C-alpha cells in the first residue's frame, strides 16, 4: 500500500512505525510542517493499560520510552494549607520532545519517509494518489474542515481558560494546587516528566481570568510561536509559593479555551482521522497523546487484519469509537467539575480531596478504596463525625449510604429512597392491593424513604385513568392502610408526591401508548398556555384563568390535609416533567402575558403560591420537598443556571429538600443520558445554593451512591428502576458491603437470607503453597525521585 500521513506528531509517527513494521512493503510518507526538533507542550502521561499495548505492539519503542519514564503512584491535593494524598494510582510520564525523538528514530530505522518543514499536498490529491490518507493534523485539522460535510464535526469551546507551562521544579507526584485568590478560585495541574522539569498547567474560569486582569493582554499581538509573557509574570506572582524560587518555562504558551472535538464519522472514502483531528478529551483525565497513540495502534492492526481499506476503516472506527466516547464522557464530567470549582471551595479539605479524586466518575468510592483504603477510611470517618454534628446517631465504620439523615422531625435510617414511579394500577383514583404490595415491599427492602407515585389532586389532574389520587376521603383512607403497614413492618418512612398532570393528562396507560390521548379526549386538560404536548396528536389544553388557578391551589391544600391525616411522613410537590406546575415554570410551555408569565420570577409565581399554601397546612415538624426539572434539555427552556434560582426560591419559601430531576417538558428534548446524568444538577444546587438535595437518574450501584454522598453532591439518592429489578436492593447492597447495623435491618422473618447464597460449584480450601506467607499488600505510595 501507499499511505500518506498528514502530521508528524506522536500519533502519526507511531502509526507509521507500526504499519511499516507489519508490512515492510508499504510505502509510507509523513508530512510534518514543523522542524524535526520543534515541539509544543512539555510532558505526556500514560496509563498502565496504554503502556501494555505499546509494549506488545513495538517492544523497541516501549524499551526506549521506559528508560525515560518518570513513575509515581500518588496524587497530592494542596488545599487550604493542607496536603491530602491518595496513593495507588500509577502514572508514567515523559518529555514530549523525547517521545518525538524516539518515534522519529524508529520511523527512520524502518524506512518511513518523514518530511519535516513540509506542508502536505491537498487531501483530494493525496486521496487520488495514495491508497490511504491518515489525517493526524490536530485540533485545528484542515482535513477535517475540508471534508466537514462527510465527517460532520462539532467543536465545543468550554468556559475555562488555561495555559500550558512548565517548571524546572521537579514534582514528586501528581499535584492539584487550589488557590483561593481575591479574584476567585484557580487551579494548577502539575506532574513531573523527567529529571529536569514538570508540566505546569494553570486553569481558571473566564470570569476569574478577567477579574485577575489577564483579559487586558488578550489583544496583544503575539508572534506565532511566542508566549504571553505578561500573563506569565502574573502567574509567577500568584503561584510564587508553589514554584518556590524555581523558573516557569514557556513554549508557545498562551491562554486558550479547551475545545471538545467530536465527529459523527471518522472516515470518508480512503481518508481517516486520528487523534485530536477525530476527538479530544480534557487534559485533566489524561493526554491527547495517549489517545492518539491508542488510535494509531488500532488503525495499524485493523489494516493488517482486514481484507481491504474500507473494511479496515470500518473496523477501526467500530473498535475505537466506544473507547473514545467513554473517555470523553469522563473528561466532560471532569472539565465541568473544574468549571464549577468555586462551588466546592467551602468543603472540608478531606471531602474536597475525595470529590476531586472522583470527579470524572471513573474513579469511584470502591475503586478508590481498592487503591488507597487508608485514605477512604479517613474520609468515611470525617463523614460520620460531620453527620453526628448535625444531630443524628451516625456510626464510624458504616458505608456512607448507611449513615442516617435528619430533616426537621424526620430521621431516616439511611440515604436511600425509592423514587416516585407511576404504576397506573389505580381504580378511580383509589390505590389498590397492588400499591400496598409495591410500596410495602420496597419499605421491607431496606430503603429509608419510599415515595408514592405522583398522587393527583383531582380527577381531571390525573395523567391516565390508572393514576392514583387523594381528592376524596375514601382515597385518603386507602392510603392510610399503606402508611400503617410501612410504619408497623419496617424502619422506612413514606412520602407522598402531590401533582397535577396539566397538559399531559387524559392519556392512555403507559403500556397502551405513552402520552397517547384517550379516545375522544375523555376529560378536559388545562395548562398555563394552550400549547399541546405533541402538536397534532395531543389534546389542546385550555388556558387557565386566575379563578381556576385559585381552585386548583385549593385542591392541593385539601390533598395536603388528607395526606397528613393518612399518615405520610414527607410531602413532595411535583414541579417537574412538564406537568401543570412545571409547565408554569418553563418558558417552552408558559407563554402568558399576565403576572404569571414572562420572567422567571413571574413563571414561578403560581408554583410558589401552591407551595406556600400546602406548607401552611402541613405540620411544622414534617418536612417537604419539591421536585424540579433542572433543565428542559431544549434550547430556550429552563437551564442549569435557572435551576439554582428555582431551587433557591422554593427553599426560601420553606422547602427542606430539592428533588433534582430534569426534562420531560417537551418531546423534542435532547437529554444527555448516562450514568448518574442528573447528579451534576443536584450537586450544583446543593453546593452553590446551600440547599439539601436528592439525586436521581440512572443511579443503580451502591458504589455510585457512596461516591455521590461522600463527595457532597447530594444528601439522598433516589433509585427507581433498580428497585423494580430488585425490591430488596438496599438490603442486598448492605450484604455486598458486609454491613449489618441500624442502617439496614432485615425484617425478622427474612434474616436467614441476609447473606448472599452460594451459586454453583466453588473450589474447596486449597493447600499452603508458600513457606512464608506474604502480608496484605500495602497501598502503593511511590513518589518520583530522579
d(CA 211, CA 742): 50
Paired strand residues for 261:
155
Q: Which of 193, 424, 579, 611 is an active site residue? A: 579
d(CA 45, CA 240): 25
Q: State yes or no: is 365 an active-site residue.
A: no
Helix axes 10-22, 96-110, angle to 10 degrees: 30
Buried b / exposed e over 705-741, threshold 16 CB at 10 Å, is: bbbbbbbbbbbbbbbbebbeeebbbbbbbbbebebbe
> Using the 8-state DSSP alphabet, how is residue 25 labeled?
T
Pairing of strands 198-204, 405-407: unpaired
d(CA 784, CA 786): 6
295 membership: H or E segment, kind and range: helix 288-305
Look at the chain and count its residues.
Answer: 786
Name residues whose C-beta falls within 8 Å of residue 397's C-beta, 6 or more positions apart in sequence: 380, 384
d(CA 80, CA 246): 22
Decide: residue 561, CB within 10 A, 0-12 exposed, 13-18 middle, 19+ buried: middle
Q: Measured in Å, how far apart are the chain's first and last C-alpha atoms? A: 44
∠ CA(553), CA(557), CA(562), 5° rounding? 145
Backbone angles phi, psi at 340, to 5 degrees: -105, 20
d(CA 436, CA 483): 9
| C-alpha cell, 257 | 479555551
692 membership: H or E segment, kind and range: none
CA atoms in the 13 A half-sphere facing the CB of 22: 20
| C-alpha cell, 309 | 481499506
The catalytic residues are 579
Amino acid at each position: 500500500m501507499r499511505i500518506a500521513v498528514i502530521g508528524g506528531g506522536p500519533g502519526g509517527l507511531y502509526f507509521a512505525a507500526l504499519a511499516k513494521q507489519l508490512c515492510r512493503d508499504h510505502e509510507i510518507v509523513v508530512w510534518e510542517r514543523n522542524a524535526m526538533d520543534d515541539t509544543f507542550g512539555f510532558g505526556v502521561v500514560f496509563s498502565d493499560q496504554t503502556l501494555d499495548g505499546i509494549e506488545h505492539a513495538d517492544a523497541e519503542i516501549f524499551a526506549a520510552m521506559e528508560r525515560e519514564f518518570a513513575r509515581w503512584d500518588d496524587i497530592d491535593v494542596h488545599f487550604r494549607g493542607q496536603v491530602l494524598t491518595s496513593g495507588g494510582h500509577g502514572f508514567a510520564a515523559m518529555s514530549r520532545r523525547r517521545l518525538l525523538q524516539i518515534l522519529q528514530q524508529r520511523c527512520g530505522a524502518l524506512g518511513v519517509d518523514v518530511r519535516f518543514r513540509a506542508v502536505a499536498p491537498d487531501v483530494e490529491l493525496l486521496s487520488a494518489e495514495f491508497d490511504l490518507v491518515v489525517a493526524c493534523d490536530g485540533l485545528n485539522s484542515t482535513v477535517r474542515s475540508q471534508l466537514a460535510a462527510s465527517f460532520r464535526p462539532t467543536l465545543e469551546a468550554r468556559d475555562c481558560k488555561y495555559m500550558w507551562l512548565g517548571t524546572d521544579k521537579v514534582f514528586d507526584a501528581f499535584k492539584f494546587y487550589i488557590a483561593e485568590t481575591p479574584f476567585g478560585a484557580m487551579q494548577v495541574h502539575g506532574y513531573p516528566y523527567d529529571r529536569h522539569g514538570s508540566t505546569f498547567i494553570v486553569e481558571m474560569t473566564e470570569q476569574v481570568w478577567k477579574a485577575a486582569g489577564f483579559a487586558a493582554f488578550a489583544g496583544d499581538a503575539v508572534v506565532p510561536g511566542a508566549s504571553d509573557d505578561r500573563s506569565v509574570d502574573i502567574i509567577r506572582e500568584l503561584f510564587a509559593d508553589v514554584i518556590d524560587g524555581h523558573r516557569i518555562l514557556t513554549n508557545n504558551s498562551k491562554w486558550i479555551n479547551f475545545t471538545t472535538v467530536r465527529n459523527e464519522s471518522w472516515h470518508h472514502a480512503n481518508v481517516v482521522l486520528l487523534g485530536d483531528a477525530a476527538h479530544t478529551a480534557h487534559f485533566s483525565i489524561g493526554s491527547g497523546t495517549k489517545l492518539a497513540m491508542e488510535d494509531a495502534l488500532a488503525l495499524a492492526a485493523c489494516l493488517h487484519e482486514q481484507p481491504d481499506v474500507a473494511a479496515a476503516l470500518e473496523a477501526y472506527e467500530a473498535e475505537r469509537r466506544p473507547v473514545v466516547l467513554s473517555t470523553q464522557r469522563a473528561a466532560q464530567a471532569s472539565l465541568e467539575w473544574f468549571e464549577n470549582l468555586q462551588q466546592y471551595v467551602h468543603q472540608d479539605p478531606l471531602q474536597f480531596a475525595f470529590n476531586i479524586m472522583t470527579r470524572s466518575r471513573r474513579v469511584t468510592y470502591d475503586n478508590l478504596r481498592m487503591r488507597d483504603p487508608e485514605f477512604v477510611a479517613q474520609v468515611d470517618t470525617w463523614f460520620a463525625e460531620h453527620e453526628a454534628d448535625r444531630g443524628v446517631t451516625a456510626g464510624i465504620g458504616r458505608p456512607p449510604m448507611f449513615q442516617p439523615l435528619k430533616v426537621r422531625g424526620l430521621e431516616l435510617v439511611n440515604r436511600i429512597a425509592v423514587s416516585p414511579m407511576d404504576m397506573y394500577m389505580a381504580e378511580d383514583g383509589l390505590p389498590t392491593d397492588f400499591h400496598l404490595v409495591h410500596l410495602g415491599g420496597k419499605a421491607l427492602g431496606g430503603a429509608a424513604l419510599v415515595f408514592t407515585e405522583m398522587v393527583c389532586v383531582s380527577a381531571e389532574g390525573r395523567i391516565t385513568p390508572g393514576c392514583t389520587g387523594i381528592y376524596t376521603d375514601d382515597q385518603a383512607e386507602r392510603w392510610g392502610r399503606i402508611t400503617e403497614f410501612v410504619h408497623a413492618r419496617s424502619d422506612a418512612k413514606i412520602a407522598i408526591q402531590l401533582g397535577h398532570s396539566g397538559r399531559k393528562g387524559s392519556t392512555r396507560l403507559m403500556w397502551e401508548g405513552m402520552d397517547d390521548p384517550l379516545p375522544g379526549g375523555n376529560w378536559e386538560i388545562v395548562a398555563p398556555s394552550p400549547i399541546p404536548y405533541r402538536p397534532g396528536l395531543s389534546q389542546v389544553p385550555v388556558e387557565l384563568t386566575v379563578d381556576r388557578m385559585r381552585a386548583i391551589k385549593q385542591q392541593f391544600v385539601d390533598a395536603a390535609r388528607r395526606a397528613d391525616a393518612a399518615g405520610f411522613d414527607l410531602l413532595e410537590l411535583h414541579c417537574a416533567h412538564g406537568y401543570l406546575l412545571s409547565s408554569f415554570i418553563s418558558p417552552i410551555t408558559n407563554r402568558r402575558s399576565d403576572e404569571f408569565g414572562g420572567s422567571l420570577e413571574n413563571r414561578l409565581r403560581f408554583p410558589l403560591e401552591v407551595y406556600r399554601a400546602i406548607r401552611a397546612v402541613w405540620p411544622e415538624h414534617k418536612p417537604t420537598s419539591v421536585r424540579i426539572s433542572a433543565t428542559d434539555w431544549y434550547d430556550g427552556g429552563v437551564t442549569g443556571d435557572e435551576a439554582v434560582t428555582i431551587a433557591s426560591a422554593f427553599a426560601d419559601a420553606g422547602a427542606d429538600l430539592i428533588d433534582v430531576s430534569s426534562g420531560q417538558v417537551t418531546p423534542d428534548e435532547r437529554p444527555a443520558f448516562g450514568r448518574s446524568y442528573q447528579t451534576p444538577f443536584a450537586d450544583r444546587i446543593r453546593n452553590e445554593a446551600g440547599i439539601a438535595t436528592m439525586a436521581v437518574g440512572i443511579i443503580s450501584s451502591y458504589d455510585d451512591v457512596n461516591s455521590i454522598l461522600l463527595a457532597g453532591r447530594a444528601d439522598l439518592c433516589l433509585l427507581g428502576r433498580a428497585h423494580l429489578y430488585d425490591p430488596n436492593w438496599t438490603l442486598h447492597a448492605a450484604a455486598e458491603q458486609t454491613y449489618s447495623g441500624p442502617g439496614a435491618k432485615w425484617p425478622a422473618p427474612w434474616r436467614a437470607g441476609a447473606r448472599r447464597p452460594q451459586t454453583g460449584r466453588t473450589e474447596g480450601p486449597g493447600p499452603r503453597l508458600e513457606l512464608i506467607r506474604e502480608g496484605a499488600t500495602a497501598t502503593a505510595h511511590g513518589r518520583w525521585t530522579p
